[in-house]
A and B are shown apart, each in its own frame.
Chain A
Amino acid sequence: MRDLFRFLFRVRDTLLFIALMLIASMLLYSGNMHHRAQAINSSNAIAGTLFNWRKDVTEYTNLREVNERLSAENAAWRNRHNTAYAPVAEQFVRINDTIHRQLYTYVPAKVVNATWHKQRNFITLDHGSTAGIGPRMGVIGPDGIVGVVHDVSAHFASVISVLNPDVRTSVRLSRTGHFGLLYWDTNDPATASVVDIPKHVRVAVGDTVVTMGGDGVFPRDVPVGVVRSVEEPPGRPDQAIVITLAEDLTRSGFVYVVNDLQQAERDSLQQHQLSP
């Protein structure tokens, strides 16, 4: 027995090494597989507060650019507002518009930390559950999609950027209507791949790619990008499509978190289907 203890004492460093590696692998595995990384992500109060301080200091350096983008976006919405239109023919004017119901609400948030040059990229936002943000909500910017929320604390949210192979968003070729998956394997912050589009579909360079919607993450028809190159590699059932992302993820200032109001209804229906 004493020999056993002596042996264990002699190899204690190796045992400790193995134990620590086991803990690390468990964290790694649960983090990658389930998209909920327990408390170890940047939505915690320490990281969030620190990033917020830095943002307070660095915010002023690109205010001009952020303001220009916001005013361009405001102008685009103003152009769609009904005060910008005059009736053309009286009999076609819809007077009372109460037959629409709201599908989505948007929560504005500020990006306080973002990486784009790593192989897995994450974003931290300055609002959390108190602002109504929750896991699995989509995040969009003025020009296109940005990422998916994966964990929130009271005042911060951690977002998996679309520049991360863990995010696979359902997208649609807006010209032909075919569905595919957005998958970031290009390791370049300006581009991404669209996979699962069969070879018989004619895809042209310059086609726009938009979100499919209906997945409870993104609304329908949010811009994703523009096809940059199309190839047909042998031995693969689908085409290798590379797109230029619509949103420049290296400079996201303000973003909107999408809250799908029908999420609960859709989920309960799918639950019924699964357990009749």
Chain B
Amino acid sequence: MIGTVAANIIRFIALMLLQVLVLDQLDVANGWMVPYLYILFLLMLPFELPAWAVLLIAAATGLTMDLFASTPGMHMSACVVMAFARKRLLRLMAPREGYEYGMRPTVPRMGLAWFATYASVLILIHHLWLFFVELHRFDSLGATFLRALLSAAFTLALCLLAQFLTSSARERGRA
């Protein structure tokens, strides 16, 4: 239990630093691909966590990101929407016998297909919300949609990469 909490706190700090110090400066394809890897922290929260706790953690995570990006409420709302959708999605995607204790929403534990589906849906929800709130007007719907789509693909690729890089060989062998 303590180990899980500590692991999540370390993951939060590491992903935040990576996002704020490195990824936010990344200019890929002239602004068409802007990755927001920090939401991997929310994706990897344990299944057992009650929905209200996930919502509060998501709000705090988004607010932290807002603090660095000077965009009050923008990342917060996107993260809260994502956390709300996560609850529904997890119920939809539950295995027939339900989630077992100790299962984690990661590639080694749940398989690549499951994680890719789970992550892509939530990342897409988060990015679409974020990019449309960021634009704050409705004159370039198509361009913003494409921007969100491309960025979501980039974020998903980074999420999968991060999973493969951080999962230990032991875990990979078992999966």
Interface of A with B (CB < 8 Å)? 12-13, 16-17, 20-21, 23-32, 37-38, 40-42, 44, 46-47, 50, 54, 115-120, 122, 124, 158, 165, 185, 187-189, 250
Q: When the two chains form their complex, are residues A13 and B73 in contact, meaning their CB atoms are under 8 A apart?
A: no
Q: When the two chains form their complex, are residues A187 and B51 in contact, meaning their CB atoms are under 8 A apart?
A: no
Q: When the two chains form their complex, are residues B31 and A42 in contact, meaning their CB atoms are under 8 A apart?
A: no
A120 to B75, CA, bound (A): 13
Contact (A165, B59) CB under 8 Å given A25-B77, A41-B70, A50-B20? no
Q: When the two chains form their complex, are residues B67 and A46 in contact, meaning their CB atoms are under 8 A apart?
A: yes
Q: 8 Å CB contacts to A: which residues of B1-57?
A: 17, 20-21, 24-25, 27-28, 30-31, 34, 51-52, 55-56
Q: When the two chains form their complex, are residues A21 and B67 in contact, meaning their CB atoms are under 8 A apart?
A: no
Q: When the two chains form their complex, are residues B56 and A32 in contact, meaning their CB atoms are under 8 A apart?
A: no
Q: When the two chains form their complex, are residues B73 and A42 in contact, meaning their CB atoms are under 8 A apart?
A: no
Q: When the two chains form their complex, are residues B76 and A42 in contact, meaning their CB atoms are under 8 A apart?
A: no
A16 to B81, CA, bound (A): 11
Q: When the two chains form their complex, are residues B77 and A28 in contact, meaning their CB atoms are under 8 A apart?
A: yes
Interface-centre pick from B34, B52, B63, B72 (highest chain A CB count, 10 A): B72
A37 to B59, CA, bound (A): 17
From A26, A54, A116, A187, contact of B143 by CB (8 A): A187
Q: When the two chains form their complex, are residues A158 and B70 in contact, meaning their CB atoms are under 8 A apart?
A: yes
Q: Which residue of A lies closest to B137 (CB)?
A: A165
Contact (A122, B69) CB under 8 Å given A54-B21, A116-B27? yes
From A17, A31, A40, A50, contact of B21 by CB (8 A): A50
B residues less than 8 Å from A250 (CB atoms): 27
A17 to B53, CA, bound (A): 11
Please list 27 pairs of residues, one from A and one from B, whose beta carbons are closer than 8 Å in the complex, sorted by A's number. A12-B52, A16-B52, A17-B80, A20-B55, A20-B56, A20-B80, A21-B80, A24-B77, A24-B80, A25-B77, A27-B72, A27-B73, A28-B72, A28-B77, A40-B66, A41-B72, A50-B17, A50-B68, A115-B25, A118-B31, A119-B131, A119-B134, A119-B147, A120-B71, A120-B134, A120-B136, A122-B71
A29 to B73, CA, bound (A): 8
B residues less than 8 Å from A119 (CB atoms): 31, 131, 134-135, 144, 147
Q: Which residue of A lies closest to B26 (CB)?
A: A117
Q: Which residue of A lies closest to B62 (CB)?
A: A24
Q: When the two chains form their complex, are residues A44 and B67 in contact, meaning their CB atoms are under 8 A apart?
A: yes
A37 to B51, CA, bound (A): 29
Q: Which residue of A lies closest to B80 (CB)?
A: A20
B133 at the binding interface (Cβ < 8 Å): yes
Name the 10 nearest CB pairs between A and B, nearest first: A27-B73, A28-B73, A117-B31, A24-B77, A31-B72, A41-B70, A40-B72, A122-B70, A27-B72, A13-B51
Q: Which residue of B lies closest to A250 (CB)?
A: B27
A residues less than 8 Å from B99 (CB atoms): none
B residues less than 8 Å from A29 (CB atoms): 73
